[in-house]
């Protein structure tokens, strides 16, 4: 349920979600309780990270034949491989989705979910890197919103999840398009953003080549431009003053007011006056146990602008 950022309390952070159409921190209360979807735009986020360990971020379950929903770890247990505890990993039927088209175990609920239409897309980031990806129809919008791209295009609609993943792999082989982009690379590219033209040019080139490759496979490309959410406008504006956050958001105390959000990358105002906004990745908090509170603030730091 969407709500304001809690004023206090301890939570396992599940990172940033765009499932509701705007960026929200997904928080699992400790020791228990329902997940909290807390808005971050224009909100001062004061928190302290507890320890250095990582905690289970639960699993996804099928809400019906076409939707999945997040479920908190009932034990708020320490994380093992893949960011989950063994119990949550064992119950997470959605984890087989990425290997669905390659054979192997397919739970009934996943098979039913994959029958629905899926979208093939290209997303280009601030450094011109372009990835190819897929999204189930209910996730058409939120999947791209969470990527943190500058420009993106839906290439084609596929009848099901198996067919779209074959197309994704085919474009990776033919055009050497990646299927993943590291958060650190996205952050660095945004820090150095001076001109949108190179990313737009790279995107159009990849789009032309991908459309041609699909045509060779007798798949008609029907390009549909992704309309980026307004919450990221400031981050997508070249010349906007910004500096990389000089502290590790995964440890210690922090206090920042979020001004703009692109995927999980945020531009945030420090508590002090006259300082340039900070650029940081709130996705780095995934799996961390944090305590919220207005009393927490970031340590002072002398920084130089990444743009000027």
pLDDT at 88: 94
pLDDT at 66: 74
Q: How confident is the model at residue 304 (pLDDT cuts 50, 70, 90)?
A: very low
Give the global pTM.
0.90
Give the pair of three-digit tokens for residue 259: 């001004």
Interval 117-129 mean pLDDT: 97
Decide if pLDDT at 139 tops 50: yes
Average per-residue pLDDT for the chain: 91
Phi and psi at residue 176, to the nearest 5°: 60, 35
Interval 232-240 mean pLDDT: 92
d(CA 124, CA 200): 8
d(CA 14, CA 159): 31
Q: Is 5:38 a contact under the CB 8 Å cutoff?
A: yes
pLDDT at 239: 82
Q: What percent of the chain has pLDDT over 70?
A: 92
Q: What percent of the chain has pLDDT over 90?
A: 78
Instruction: Assign 151 to helix, strand or coil.
Output: strand
Give residue-wise pLDDT tens across range 246-258.
Answer: 999 999 999 999 9
d(CA 293, CA 249): 15
d(CA 232, CA 234): 6
Cα 92–Cα 15–Cα 288 angle in degrees, nearest 5: 90
Give residue-wise pLDDT tens across range 91-118.
Answer: 887 666 666 555 566 767 777 888 899 9
Q: How confident is the model at residue 160 (pLDDT cuts 50, 70, 90)?
A: very high
Give residue-wise pLDDT tens across range 182-224.
Answer: 999 999 999 999 999 999 999 999 999 999 999 999 999 999 9
Decide if pLDDT at 172 tops 60: yes
Instruction: Assign 213 to helix, strand or coil.
Output: helix
- Of 203, 135, 206, nearest to 164 by C-alpha is 135
Contacts 24+ apart (CB under 8 A), 98-103: 100/161, 100/162, 100/165, 101/161, 101/162, 101/165, 101/166, 101/169
Decide if pLDDT at 122 tops 90: yes
């Amino acid at each position: 349920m969407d709500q304001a950022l809690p004023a206090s309390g301890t939570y396992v952070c599940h990172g940033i979600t765009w499932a509701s159409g705007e960026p929200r921190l997904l928080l699992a209360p400790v020791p228990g309780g329902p997940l909290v979807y807390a808005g971050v735009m224009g909100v001062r986020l004061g928190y302290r990270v507890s320890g250095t360990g990582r905690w289970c971020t639960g699993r996804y379950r099928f809400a019906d034949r076409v939707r999945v929903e997040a479920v908190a770890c009932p034990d708020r247990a320490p994380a093992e491989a893949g960011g989950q505890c063994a119990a949550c990993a064992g119950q997470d039927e959605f984890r087989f989705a990425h290997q669905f088209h390659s054979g192997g175990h397919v739970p009934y609920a996943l098979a039913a979910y994959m029958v629905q239409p899926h979208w093939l897309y290209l997303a280009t980031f601030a450094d011109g890197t372009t990835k190819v990806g897929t999204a189930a129809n209910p996730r058409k919008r939120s999947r791209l919103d969470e990527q943190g791209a500058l420009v993106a295009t839906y290439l084609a609609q596929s009848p099901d999840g198996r067919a779209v993943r074959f197309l994704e792999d085919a474009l990776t082989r033919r055009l050497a398009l990646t299927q993943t982009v590291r958060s650190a690379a996205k952050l660095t590219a945004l820090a150095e953003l001076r001109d949108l033209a190179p990313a737009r040019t790279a995107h159009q080139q990849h789009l032309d080549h991908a459309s041609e490759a699909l045509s060779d496979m007798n798949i008609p490309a029907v390009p549909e431009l992704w309309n980026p959410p307004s919450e990221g406008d400031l981050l997508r504006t070249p010349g906007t003053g910004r500096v990389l956050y000089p502290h590790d958001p995964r440890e210690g105390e922090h206090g920042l007011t979020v001004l703009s959000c692109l995927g999980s990358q945020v531009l945030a105002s420090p508590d002090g006056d006259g300082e340039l906004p900070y650029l940081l990745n709130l996705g780095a908090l995934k799996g961390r146990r944090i305590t919220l509170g207005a009393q927490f603030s970031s340590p002072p730091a002398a920084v130089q602008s990444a743009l000027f």
